[in-house]
Structure 1
Amino acid sequence: MRQVSPESPGIFDFIMDLYHACDGKWDTLVTDYSITPEELEGFLEYAAMFLCNLGNFYGEGDQKFVPNLTADALQRIAGISPTAQERLDEIIGPLLAVPPFNLGYPSKSAQSAYYLGSMAQEEIALVSEAMSKHSVGPENTRVQKLIKEGKPVYHVLQASAETGAPANGLYELANNMFLIRGDHSVELSMVCSNLARALKYASNHRQTRFLEAYIESFRTGSQEAYQESQKAWVMDVSARVENMIGFIESYRDPAGIRSEWEAMIGIADPDETARLKRFVERSTCFIRQLPWAVDGVNDGKGPFEKTLFEAPDFTSVHALAVCGSVVFEAANLPNYEYIRETCGFKNIVLANRLCVNHNPRLSMPWITPSELMHFQKSTHLVRFLTTAIHELIGHGTGILLSETAPGIYNFDEQSPPLSPLSGSPVASHYALGQTWTSVFGHLAGTVEECRAILVSEYLMDNKELLSIFGYTDASEVTVDDLLYTTYLNIGVDGLQALEHYSFESKSWGQVHHQAHFSIMKHLLQDGGGVIHISQDLDSSSLTVHVDRSKIASHGKPSLGRYLCRLHIWRCTADFAACRDFYEPLCAVEGLYEQWRQIVCSKPRPRWKFVQPNTFVDGDTVEVKVYEESNRGIIQSWAERDI
């Protein structure tokens, strides 16, 4: 929460103070404290939404949300407890303030808790340069700007249980930049203590190793130790209990380098995992069918793929607990490219999160009534399949042509491979020390997600792939049904993404939504009419139409052209070409701005997830499940006793 906004920890404590003050009996606020039922429900709605996003900005879209309550109503609610009243006095200003509208580089309309103090992008870049010179990883840091004696001083706040100078004595990064350990020290001390307790339950030496490395990293702040944890973690295959923990994804940092604390514990689903493993076994066959594959070169995969596709561990789990701003559907980790290439990676699907997509009661205003039943029957199946392809082949493919050591390359630099985009030898590669994220910067996350999404949509006509999951021409939902729904989803996802675009700051709040919009826009411009969006201004309606007859002839080739461009530019470090093509596809102007206004006028209900808690009673672990309501969500967090 501290990574979201300065006021978020205080808002959390305010909610907990109120819960304990009334002992969870919220109706007493109406009977004993002159709070109206509408005011109470408005507060409970805000509190539950806050707890599900772990902050006062939506996990999806990064827009700020405020309670539908007056300041007076909040004061009367806080009046039930002197502690809550004192807490509210500290946070009520930023709690209700708009702007900021969203997360982003600090400005009049946006804010970021990764950058404390009035800080320009140029200053952030200078701090990053100083950190790079000393090999200080940015993932678990924030930056604070102070003014001392009229001059700016920058503190790089590194997350660690320990405080003080590190063992190597590094403190001063530059003449006005200092490394300060101990950010989130109290919480990370508790994390380390509990991970130490978990060690005695490790099932094998790999689990012992990654737990020990987790502890070292969270205790000292060492990103090298965290990378060691990931090397051991990816080797712990077919784990019955799967985990992800650490400063993992950098989506919420406007600079795209600092990462959000996340954690997940899940229990493997053996039946689903067995199907996914069959998919893994056939993965090379499907890679040979991607647009850049070349017969007779690199086992048919072409020069822009690794010689050996390291088949990852692919597990379907039922999430027991998720800590983060969203309950995600799947993950492909680790994010360190060199670990993926040398040790491998893992794909994890959260089955009990994906199944939530199958909810026929949800309205879908972008689909014609005549197709709504078909869409509701098949869209959740498409989302499971595309998620599986996205994680395994989308994120698992591609080689970054690089100088790996002085004068050593992972490709023939004297005779570079031919680009399928130009037919000429590629003219760029990653220089020594460069990485995907350092070269592509703020576009790295969204371009990679877009590439992975395109891979999944491009392969959704593959009958051999779909048959692994039981879908054929004769199944109840046929392969053609799934393909048609895939293209409906492209339109629906592209439209719904507009809800996450900030008109005020001209920025996208979430990399996946930005990618979905760009794909829809590309197909509208390049797909020869395979999809069409009809607009009725009188009724403020938008409807997605797909021409089945053009899916094979126009739709797939268009997706392939877009996919091939992103893939080759990523492989060859051609940021300029990628930026010049991608950014216009993400621009929301003219007709698309009209569509954004219509989409925002019909907001979708946002997911709220109530999570269980576990309690240890002797040698028994008890799982407590809560009521599916705002009150149940608040109770579940209160009984976590954080």
Structure 2
Amino acid sequence: MEKYVEHFTTGNVNDHKDASRLWIKDVNPVVEVVVNKLSNAFVSSGVRAEFEGFVAAVKKETSKNFAHLVSKAEEILQRLTWGKAYEKDTFLKPDFTALDLIAYGVSGVAVGINIPNYNDIRQNEGFKNVSLSNSLSAQPKQRINFISEEDENLIFEYNERAFEVQIGLHEDMAVERCSRLQKNANGSFNFDQENTVDILTGEKITSWYQPGETWAGLFGQACCSYEECKAEAVGFVLCGDDDILKIFGYEGVLAENIIHSNWLSSILK
């Protein structure tokens, strides 16, 4: 941990990356300590000179559910519409934990994070997913406009439990899961160019990333927003699967209420 913090205090981006590499290797800690540069996903300028730091205690029982979800991830991913050709060759299994925040130094408190915020490290080396459970429960309940009293009461009762399912699917099944179809500098491709089908047209793939091009470089500040939309959509689709809900202990009418609450609260965001 001392080495991790030391790397982050130098102000050098390569040292920051080395700190992130140390951090992702610290799997299943009892107390999680994070220093991390903020994502610019929700900043209109695309630039944000801010770091976050927090100390949190692991919620062991909820984390067991997330670990169970991670263990089934490769099977669950096959249900998604983009197909194996769009998946990474190697499944990078994340450390996924639920945390209760003890202290958080940041301008706006998140409820779930996929970190570190270096795309090349997440793409090629690994990452962690964390759910900041008590940041949601700490928010005051406010009257929700434009829905019935019955639906409002349902959200108030089930929203935290529905959120755990949604954030689990959002972070584990979607974020950083798709491979970038790219042409290499030597003229070869990192995918089967002849047999990979465009999921929108049903025809053969006709475009790809050229050598040196990146997701962030081509899409700019919109890339993070696209990634978040994809991840939310995956959560909406998979949260209705019985076996996934059972991982979290939800069956029957309770499961139906969890699904209803998740979809309804997401529409109202």
TM-score (norm 2): 0.91
Note the C-alpha offset of 1:405.
4.5
User: For structure 2, which runs of at least 5 residues remain unmatched after alignment?
Assistant: none
Contact 1:239 1:268 in 2 (8 A): yes
Whichever residue aligns with residue 343 of structure 1, its letter is E
In the other structure, the counterpart of 2:64 is: 274
In the other structure, the counterpart of 2:169 is: 389
1:234 to 7, 24, 27: 24
Whichever residue aligns with residue 94 of structure 2, its letter is P
Matched residues in 2 for 1:370 and 1:233: separation?
A: 44
Superposition pairs of residues 422-441 of structure 1, within 5 angstroms? 422-441=201-220
Distance 1:338 1:408, change over 3 A: farther
Note the C-alpha offset of 1:470.
0.3
Note the C-alpha offset of 1:374.
2.4
In the other structure, the counterpart of 1:374 is: 154
In the other structure, the counterpart of 2:260 is: 484
Contact 1:249 1:260 in 2 (8 A): no
Contact 2:42 2:225 in 1 (8 A): no
Instruction: Give the share of equivalent positions with the same residue, in percent.
Output: 25
In the other structure, the counterpart of 1:446 is: 225
Does residue 191 of structure 2 align to residue 411 of structure 1? yes
Whichever residue aligns with residue 304 of structure 1, its letter is Y
Whichever residue aligns with residue 489 of structure 1, its letter is S
Does residue 113 of structure 2 align to residue 331 of structure 1? yes
Note the C-alpha offset of 1:484.
2.1
Matched residues in 2 for 1:344 and 1:264: separation?
A: 20
Moved more, 267-276 or 250-259: 250-259
Note the C-alpha offset of 1:305.
0.4
Superposition pairs of residues 268-307 of structure 1, within 5 angstroms? 268-293=58-83, 302-307=84-89
Does residue 126 of structure 2 align to residue 363 of structure 1? no
Distance 1:273 1:423, change over 3 A: same
Distance 1:389 1:466, change over 3 A: same
Contact 2:37 2:117 in 1 (8 A): no
Give the count of matched residue pairs. Answer: 269
Distance 1:272 1:406, change over 3 A: same
Contact 1:366 1:492 in 2 (8 A): no
Distance 1:378 1:252, change over 3 A: closer
Matched residues in 1 for 2:27 and 2:77: separation?
A: 23
SS in 1 for 2:37: strand
> Rg: which structure is higher?
1
Note the C-alpha offset of 1:375.
2.8
Task: Give the RMSD, CA atoms, in angstroms.
Answer: 2.1
Matched residues in 1 for 2:255 and 2:182: separation?
A: 39
TM-score (norm 1): 0.40
Matched residues in 2 for 1:417 and 1:257: separation?
A: 36
Whichever residue aligns with residue 367 of structure 1, its letter is I
Distance 1:403 1:339, change over 3 A: farther
Contact 1:255 1:441 in 2 (8 A): no
Distance 1:373 1:244, change over 3 A: same
Matched residues in 2 for 1:339 and 1:348: separation?
A: 17
- 1:541-565 CA distances to partner (integer Å, 9 max, x unpaired)? xxxxxxxxxxxxxxxxxxxxxxxxx
Distance 1:227 1:411, change over 3 A: same
Note the C-alpha offset of 1:425.
1.6
Whichever residue aligns with residue 265 of structure 2, its letter is N
Note the C-alpha offset of 1:379.
2.2
Does residue 265 of structure 2 align to residue 471 of structure 1? no
In the other structure, the counterpart of 1:59 is: none
Contact 2:174 2:231 in 1 (8 A): yes
Note the C-alpha offset of 1:213.
2.4
Matched residues in 2 for 1:320 and 1:405: separation?
A: 47
Contact 1:317 1:351 in 2 (8 A): yes
Superposition pairs of residues 26-37 of structure 1, within 5 angstroms? none
- 1:375-414 CA distances to partner (integer Å, 9 max, x unpaired)? 322222212211121111121421111235543432134x
Matched residues in 2 for 1:480 and 1:256: separation?
A: 39
Superposition pairs of residues 342-357 of structure 1, within 5 angstroms? 342-356=124-138
Note the C-alpha offset of 1:421.
0.8
Contact 1:332 1:391 in 2 (8 A): yes
SS in 2 for 1:371: helix
Matched residues in 1 for 2:101 and 2:266: separation?
A: 27
Contact 1:265 1:321 in 2 (8 A): yes
Note the C-alpha offset of 1:251.
3.4
Contact 1:354 1:384 in 2 (8 A): no
Contact 1:389 1:455 in 2 (8 A): yes
Whichever residue aligns with residue 211 of structure 1, its letter is V
Whichever residue aligns with residue 305 of structure 1, its letter is E
In the other structure, the counterpart of 2:55 is: 265
Which 4+ stretches in 1 moved above 6 angstroms? Answer: none
Matched residues in 1 for 2:91 and 2:177: separation?
A: 8
SS in 2 for 1:243: strand
Contact 2:123 2:176 in 1 (8 A): no
Matched residues in 1 for 2:125 and 2:167: separation?
A: 23
Contact 1:256 1:444 in 2 (8 A): no
- 1:157-194 CA distances to partner (integer Å, 9 max, x unpaired)? xxxxxxxxxxxxxxxxxxxxxxxxxxxxxxxxxxxxxx
Matched residues in 1 for 2:150 and 2:71: separation?
A: 39
Matched residues in 1 for 2:56 and 2:200: separation?
A: 42
Whichever residue aligns with residue 339 of structure 1, its letter is I
Whichever residue aligns with residue 322 of structure 1, its letter is Y
Matched residues in 1 for 2:188 and 2:14: separation?
A: 24
Superposition pairs of residues 460-609 of structure 1, within 5 angstroms? 460-473=239-252, 478-493=254-269
Note the C-alpha offset of 1:253.
4.4
